[in-house]
Amino acid sequence: MAVGRAWRITDRDLHILEFLTRYGAATAEQVRREFFAESVKAAYRRLRALEERGLVRGERIFYRMPQVYRATEQGARLAEVDLPPPRYDLSRLHHHLEVLELSYQLREDDEGVEDWITEREVRRDKLMARREKETGRMGPGGKMGRTPDGLLVLVSGDLVAVELELTAKRNADYKRILADYARQLDGGEVDAVHFYFASAKVMQRVEELSRGYDDLFGRIEFWRWEPVFERRR
């Protein structure tokens, strides 16, 4: 497919647009890691070309953090992943980038991982199921239920819900999250739950709370995560 007179969109361009649409946002280094073996400069050049043609938008948002790229409406349409263009959500952006880092590490380091389903894709699929089956597998009364930050698809076929906690929540919030995952595990929606925490203290607190839910026993794990990005405005 041609865009303009002297520029032609490539299969790699389409994969980049798909990647940005699925994950919501990414840095040039994150794009390079997925699609460019040569250097981050090559990734920057291609992202700049896509930006010039209105397919992506690059913004420098956080101080001492690299520029962030998102697919535009036109770019999301070309990606053909049945997802709308990512919304600009400053409050969640830092978390999105860290989740992408976590997903990359899990996909690269664990031979038992077959795929990663993003939060945007999980939410899309839940909405589709609710429209088709009213309640489906989304909880009593047709509620969506807890949407994880991502789903690991293992080669065994098991689904692992992944949660990345960069900031602490109240105990009441964690109890609601844990109760929902206990229900999902009991209903066979997921096979395990893995929590990753930036704070060891918060991890210990949530691990203690989880002991009050029998359905979580042996199927929930807690891990430390060292944030990659330094968020500064």
Boundaries of every domain in the chain: 11-88, 93-224
Q: Do domains 11-88 and 93-224 have the same CATH topology?
A: no
Which CATH architecture does the domain made up of 11-88 adopt?
Orthogonal Bundle (1.10)
From first to last of the 233 residues of the chain, give the pLDDT tens digit. Answer: 444 456 789 999 999 999 999 999 999 999 999 999 878 999 999 999 999 999 999 998 777 778 899 999 999 999 999 999 998 888 888 999 999 999 999 999 878 999 999 999 999 998 887 776 654 444 443 456 899 999 999 999 999 999 999 999 999 999 999 999 999 999 999 999 999 999 999 999 999 999 999 999 999 999 999 999 865 54
Closest CA to 181 of 203, 204, 154, 159: 159
Fold classification of 93-224 (topology level): type ii restriction endonuclease, domain 2 (3.40.1560)
Rounded distance between C-alpha atoms, residue 233 and residue 217, angstroms: 41
Query: CB neighbours of 93 closer than 8 A, spacing ≥ 6?
Result: 25, 61, 62, 68
